[in-house]
Amino acid sequence: MTDHAAALIAAAKPFWDAEAEITRRFFAGPPSRDDYIHYLRSAVYKELNPVIGYGPTDGFANGLHMEFCEIVERFRGLDGEVDRRDMLGALRMMTEEFEHYVVLAEVLEFVLGRKLAPGDAKQLPEDVKLNEMRRGYVESDDPCLVAAMGLTEGGGASTFREASKLSGGPLEEKLAAAMKIIHDDEKDHYEDAAADAAKAVRTDDDLARMKRAIREVSIQRVRMRNEQFRFQMSEDEVEGLITANP
């Protein structure tokens, strides 16, 4: 790992650790049935819309629908302007994201005691703010800030890691199994994203701008995760976290 990649990860890690702590507190609660439903509805939504922060999905059922349609259109340029290995990578990534939706949707169905219906997946307000913030960076025309956004996906897989440790009854076992699948897929993504982002760094100012952007988005990720998990962290704690990581 290069020094620049390590510095970018270090900018986000305290906030990833906070996401992990929020997750641990929620499951130690223990959560009620309504708590599980609240979390899982938002989690299912996020898996259906894995890159919604990168652009609107108007005209599509969800972000996955949009991404798969764009991949299908790329077949027109196959072996021309479209590299087959790049396309294979995109297909694998979106297939993983669809599997993540499937395994979490099945847990939500178990809790609800019925099949999912349109509208069961819900986006929460802090997630709306997160997507708007990320979209602003992606549309900034600053290659460094665009590259930095790859490191703001998934929160370092910290929530998936913590939830994969659950044990107890059938619900806990089902959710842990689902989270293990997601964690196994996601656990190394942040290192790859940091390596890619580090390639955009040319000057000290580039690195500083990227670290500021990662910090801002990571703070909003903590607020998003806190809302998902019924505000396990107080606002004073969140503000303390921000102050401790200037």
CATH number, domain of 18, equals 1.20.910
Digit-coded pLDDT (tens) for 115-144: 999 899 999 999 999 999 999 999 999 999
To the nearest whole number, what is the mean pLDDT of the chain? 94
**Domain count within the chain:** 1
Question: Averaged over 83-110, what is the pLDDT?
Answer: 95
* Segment 26-49 mean pLDDT: 96
What's the pLDDT score for residue 182? 96
Q: How many CB atoms lie within 10 A of CB 90?
A: 16
The 3-class secondary structure across 171-232, one letter per residue, is HHHHHHHHHHHHHHHHCCHHHHHHHHHHCCCCCHHHHHHHHHHHHHHHHHHHHHHHHHCCCC
pLDDT at residue 52 above 70?
A: no
Reported confidence tier of residue 203, pLDDT bands at 50, 70, 90: very high
The answer to whether residue 51 scores a pLDDT higher than 90 is: no
pLDDT for the residue numbered 92: 92
Taking alpha carbons only, the member of 150, 182, 140, 161 closest to residue 5 is: 150
The pLDDT of residue 56 is 79
Q: Higher model confidence: residue 205 or residue 51? A: 205
Segments forming the whole domain that contains residue 123: 3-244
Percent of the chain residues topping a pLDDT of 70: 99
